[in-house]
Chains A and B, each alone.
Chain A
């Protein structure tokens, strides 16, 4: 099997400048590209770095790292099934205009222990803090049900992730986090943000771009199907006729 995703996100969090707190994050990624090939099943992205300290080791306690990887936004329809005439069918729906195609959070401790809800909301960390615009006014009761339904479906697909077991912080200096990308990840521009917290406060923030594309054979097939649909259809029919004819010859022997 060709390993499609061979990428490590290298984050060198180093001493830089002289900010108020004396601790900063500077990051870099060794590769900014993930390619989805025909053998693409899923891949893990390793993200690692170090926390640098301006004033020596005197205040190196209780650092918390939160990393959020966010995919390109796209509109999504959430539908609710209702029991109508004895069968379950899609009925009410809500359209969200800007749902991140991928949203994964890795953190060293549970989010509510790292900082309080207001802080997280202000920064925009957590499923409940993803900004989602709907196409119509939704009643308060329904709003939460539909939003939860959206998050639940995205989590089931592995496209929304929230986990603390994949972040390792060592000696308050080194950190490492794994991100899992299932085969159904949307392509486009991604954004990895690393947040450094201490005692419930955000000390520093770093951002790194990341791009996921479909490459090779699978990309060609997808592009042809969407950009030149008629040609793709003809090709599909021709291939089927040729393959069927060939199979007939093979089978007679």
Chain B
């Protein structure tokens, strides 16, 4: 059954859209990730204009993260002060990201930027994850498991404007969370992702936050930053497709429930290795589109001011 998407200005089968939402929801439920990095490329491969895919996915991530953020909030798993600093940086980053996005769209380079961002970020994150899960696996098999000491980055403590984050039991400079939030905000705006894949490692390894508040605080900031991205793209480029976002979300909610159940049955490093392979697959597929000669070298686009 074809369904007309008013902003993408094209029709897609409604069951295909729900199915895509479910499939990505399943994987994100299984791996405990947001799924933006999967959904945006899939939308692009399905023929949705890349700019619409990115902006719409930001809108869907807001919806996909809010219930998780609420659940963590009830359990006390959010450091609101830290979250607030991350959001302040993230809001600024989303504004900058959306401006760059809008400019590149007028000069016809936004698709290239989206692909490049995916190749660079997913490539590096995927490789790191794969390396780590392989190391863990080898250690377990060889029986030489020794706890790795957390990397305390000394230079962080040299920064000024120190603040106390009670919930995270940290006394660090306020500059770092703002900078990290800013980077994630830019990525959210140009890649259509929540940015958890950057945010969570940054919280653990750079800020040194305890793991019990990492997920909740990350979700908390994702809700606000993707909401800000949605606003930015709505105002600057009119590329947010509400209808598409709601259809994807419906599928994703159902898929996530099933995925979470399957995920419980798998081992942590198995999951991480699978996730790493998936991340790298998306990265390679995006990169492939850049290096292989396109069927038609000529493309057309609207004239944008």
Residues of A in contact with B (beta carbons under 8 Å apart): 1, 36-42, 74-83, 86-90, 93, 95, 145-146, 148-150, 152-154, 156, 183-184, 214, 217-219, 221-222, 225-226, 229-230, 232-237, 239-241, 243-245, 247-251
Contact = CB atoms under 8 A, between A and B. Distances in A.
A76 B231 contact: no
Given A236-B234, A240-B245, A81 B297 contact: yes
A233 B298 contact: no
23 contacts: A38-B3, A40-B4, A82-B297, A88-B291, A89-B112, A90-B109, A146-B298, A154-B300, A183-B4, A183-B9, A218-B4, A218-B6, A233-B235, A233-B240, A237-B62, A239-B63, A239-B245, A240-B59, A240-B249, A244-B62, A244-B64, A251-B253, A251-B256
A112 to B, nearest CB: 25
A239 B234 CA distance: 14
Nearest to B293: A88
Contacts of A241: 62-63, 66, 223, 227
A132 B240 CA distance: 32
Interface of B: 1-4, 6-7, 9-11, 59-60, 62-68, 70-71, 108-109, 112, 223, 227, 230-235, 238, 240, 242-243, 245-246, 249, 253, 256-257, 290-294, 296-303
B232 to A, nearest CB: 8
A153 B298 CA distance: 8
A151 to B, nearest CB: 10
Nearest to A154: B300
Given A90-B112, A93-B108, A240-B62, A247 B249 contact: yes
A251 B29 CA distance: 12
Contacts of B6: 38, 214, 217-219, 221-222, 225
Given A81-B299, A153-B299, A251-B67, 9 more contacts: A39-B2, A74-B302, A76-B302, A146-B298, A149-B297, A218-B4, A221-B242, A233-B231, A239-B245
Contacts of B233: 233
Contacts of B302: 74-77
Contacts of A76: 300-303
A80 B302 CA distance: 14
Contacts of A251: 67, 253, 256-257
